[in-house]
Structures are given as C-alpha cells and as structure tokens.
C-alpha cells in the first residue's frame, strides 16, 4: 500500500489539464459485472459540478452495490452506500474480477479508501504521501475529508 493514491488532479481541482478516464470503458465494465453476477444496472451517473466520479448502482440478487470511478484516474472502488459527503467503501467479491474485464482499472481496497486522512492545520499539509496541487490542498482544508476515499471520490464544488 505504498503507492501514492493522492495524485495531482485526482480531486478534480487542478492547475493544468487533467487526464480523463474513458466513460465507455466504465459502462462496459459495469455491464460485464452485472452480466457476470446475474445482476442488473439500476442507474449510471456521470460526474457533475459537485461530484468528481462516475457511479453505477448494481442490483444483485440480495443487495445493491455501487461501483465508482474517479473522473481523472482509472481508480475504481466499491461501496455499499453513496450519499452526499458520505460513502461506505467496501471490498466486494466482484472487485476480484474487474481485471478480467478491463486491466486498465485499478481497484482500490476498503483498507486503502478507508485510510484515515490526517491534516496538519498549522502547516496546511497532509500526513500521507501525496502529489496534490495547491488548489486541492485548499479544498481538503475547506471540506475536511476523513479518509483517502473521501478525497478520491468527492462531492466538492
């Protein structure tokens, strides 16, 4: 877990142009996971002014789960609940087969997404390795996210 996840522009706040993910690949992945699990796509949502990620709600026989994709980097996470400013990140058995359908996505584990984010208010820095730009750090100190996942998948505007 030494890989730096908080990359420049991952929050959607940037100085220069951001890399972009391919929404069609994410839709294909979502449908592949639905077919594989005999589930169905209940909704698909694109990023918008106050959400920096794609979101698919997948209905399975005994539960609904969410598949999230950061809008700038090919980071995917699974969640049991997605509400404004509150995402419950989980590990799901489907995460193990994402690479079968698309090896360009990196699935983030619940341990990675739920890692506590410690802020140093005095120096306006984070106690975690990152490559965030100044605009992103300003947003973090404004919104005060609690976890790494809250930074990667955020509702900031």
What average pLDDT does the chain have? 93
Give the pLDDT confidence of 53-77 residue by residue, as tens digits: 999 999 999 999 999 999 999 999 9
pTM exceeds 0.85: yes
Per-residue burial over 108-142, b = 16 or more CB atoms within 10 Å of its CB, e = otherwise: bebebbbbebebeeeeeebebebebbeebbebbee
Confidence of residue 2 (pLDDT cuts 50, 70, 90): low
Distance CA 147, CA 156 (A): 14
pLDDT tens per residue, range 6-35: 999 999 987 677 778 999 999 999 999 999
137 pLDDT more than 70 = yes
Comparing 44-53, 61-70, 101-110, 115-124, which segment has the lowest mean pLDDT?
A: 115-124
């Amino acid at each position: 877990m030494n890989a730096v996840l908080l990359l420049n522009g991952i929050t959607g706040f940037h100085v220069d142009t951001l890399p972009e993910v391919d929404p069609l690949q994410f839709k294909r992945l979502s449908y592949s996971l639905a077919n594989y699990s005999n589930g169905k796509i209940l909704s698909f949502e694109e990023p918008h002014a106050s959400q920096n990620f794609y979101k698919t709600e997948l209905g399975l026989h005994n539960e609904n789960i969410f598949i999230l994709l950061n809008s700038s980097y090919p980071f995917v996470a699974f969640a049991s609940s997605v509400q404004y400013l509150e995402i419950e990140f989980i590990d799901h058995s489907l995460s193990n087969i994402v690479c079968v359908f698309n090896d360009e996505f990196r699935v983030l584990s619940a341990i990675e997404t739920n890692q506590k984010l410690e802020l140093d208010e005095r120096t306006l820095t984070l106690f975690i390795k990152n490559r965030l730009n100044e605009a992103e750090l300003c947003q973090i100190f404004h919104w005060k996210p609690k976890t790494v996942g809250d930074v990667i998948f955020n509702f900031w505007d």
